């Protein structure tokens, strides 16, 4: 007979909803043909990191990032809402967005 662990009720901790605190996944959007074509176009137009260029450094861009995140109302497929970034600049921006 299998032994199941007992759930422990801790009255001092708040109840959590099943999806609370998890990020919304945009995986389906980022795998779409429209996004891949737009991303390739942006890298072709601006192959250098835009944030590094503002600081006077020429670094190849590896990531195309939304200036205003989609989850916060940014346009998903607008070139005006995209910027080319290197990995370090993208990680820095993503950390500050959270």
pLDDT of residue 22: 55
Rg of the chain (C-alpha set): 20
How many residues comprise the chain?
98
Residue 66 φ then ψ, to 5°: -80, 130
pLDDT at residue 4 in the model:
77
> Would you say residue 9 lies in a domain?
no
Evaluated on CA atoms 52, 54, 66, 94, the torsion sign reads positive
Residue 59 lies in a domain: yes
What pTM was estimated for this model as a whole? 0.72
Structural domain that includes position 39: 31-97
Q: Return the SS3 of 89.
A: helix
- Each residue's pLDDT tens digit, 56-88: 999 999 999 999 988 888 999 999 999 999 999
Is the separation of the CB atoms in 42 and 3 below 8 Å?
Answer: no
Say what the pLDDT of residue 45 is: 97
Examine residue 64 and state whether it is found in any structural domain, yes or no: yes
Calculate the dihedral angle through the C-alpha atoms of 62, 37, 44, 95, rounding to the nearest 10 degrees.
-30
Q: Domain count for the chain, please give it.
A: 1
**pLDDT value for 87:** 96
pLDDT at 97: 82
Question: In angstroms, rounded to a whole number, what is the distance separating the alpha carbons of residues 42 and 64?
Answer: 7
d(CA 89, CA 61): 9
Please indicate, yes or no, if residue 21 is contained in any of the structural domains: no
Q: Note the pLDDT of residue 68.
A: 92
pLDDT (tens digit per residue) in 6-64: 777 777 877 766 665 555 678 889 999 999 999 999 999 999 999 999 999 999 999 99
């Amino acid at each position: 007979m299998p032994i199941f662990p007992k759930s422990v009720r801790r009255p001092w901790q708040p109840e959590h909803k099943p999806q609370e605190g998890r990020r919304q996944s945009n995986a389906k959007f980022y795998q779409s043909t429209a996004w891949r074509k737009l991303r390739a176009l942006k890298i072709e137009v601006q192959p250098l990191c835009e944030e590094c260029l503002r600081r006077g450094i020429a670094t190849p861009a590896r990531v195309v990032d939304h200036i205003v995140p989609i989850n916060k109302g940014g346009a998903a497929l607008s070139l005006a809402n995209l910027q080319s970034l290197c990995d370090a600049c993208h990680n820095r921006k993503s950390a500050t967005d959270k």
